[in-house]
Amino acid sequence: MKFGLLLFPKLTQLDLTGPLEVFSRMNGVETALIWKTRDPVPSDRGCMRILPTHTFDEARELDLIFVPGGPGQIDLMEDHETLNYLRLVAEQCQWVTSVCTGSLVLAAAGLLTGYRATSHWSSIDQLALFGVEPVAERVVRDRNRISGAGVTSGIDFALNIAADLLGEKAARSIQLQIEYDPEPPFKDGSPRSANPELMSQIRSDIAPFIARRQRASEAAARALRPSKESEA
């Protein structure tokens, strides 16, 4: 089977590399890192450049398409070449998937309308703009759409894919190989458990960026609407 992982400038590398670590340990799975060109793609923190293995034209037949998130997702939501590519490959994929705000990119392509999905806690509400039902869970499945919440949930998401394809025993084996046994030093990894004062501070700190993402989501939803109406 062939799994395609989308790259784009300013992606969050752990959104990508967490699932990639699991996928690369799955017997019978070939992974493709896909972008428009084979030029190095910079991550959001500027500390890593990732080399694509395939261009859009070289990765048309996939069993799974995966979209990570990151700040670059904002520009991607109006990138017609990328959105059209996702629509094209999704037609034949067994799974259409995302982690973090990658779900907003799928939504902007019209690939989550009428589905349940999740995203990073800071932006999950924006899914509703696209006719998607937001679900605040770590991994959300709806038919062949599977989405993971923020960043680190990508490992949970990928282990679910491994269990689907190879069975639970194989997925458990991969989990043990990578020693995925989270025991975080603080209980502030989710809005459900975070200290209220810290939560308030983080919301305030990221508010300008989230407002920018909100505007991009609203614009992408408006752009999607005419095509959906014409299909009807």
List, as own/partner pairs, every contact residues 137-143 make where C-beta atoms lie below 8 angstroms and the sequence separation is at least 24, other chains included.
Answer: 140/116, 142/115, 142/116, 142/117, 143/115
174 contacts: CB under 8 Å, gap ≥ 6: 22, 25, 26, 159, 162
Contact 102, 151 (CB under 8 A): no
Contact 76, 98 (CB under 8 A): no
Contact 142, 115 (CB under 8 A): yes
Q: Which amino acid is at 16?
A: L
- How many residues in the chain? 232
Contact 124, 116 (CB under 8 A): no
Which residue in 100, 139, 165, 220 is the catalytic one? 100
Contact 180, 18 (CB under 8 A): no
- Token pair of 192, please? 């459900």
> Which H or E run includes 96?
strand 95-99
Catalytic annotation on 47? no
Contact 137, 149 (CB under 8 A): yes
Catalytically active residues are 100
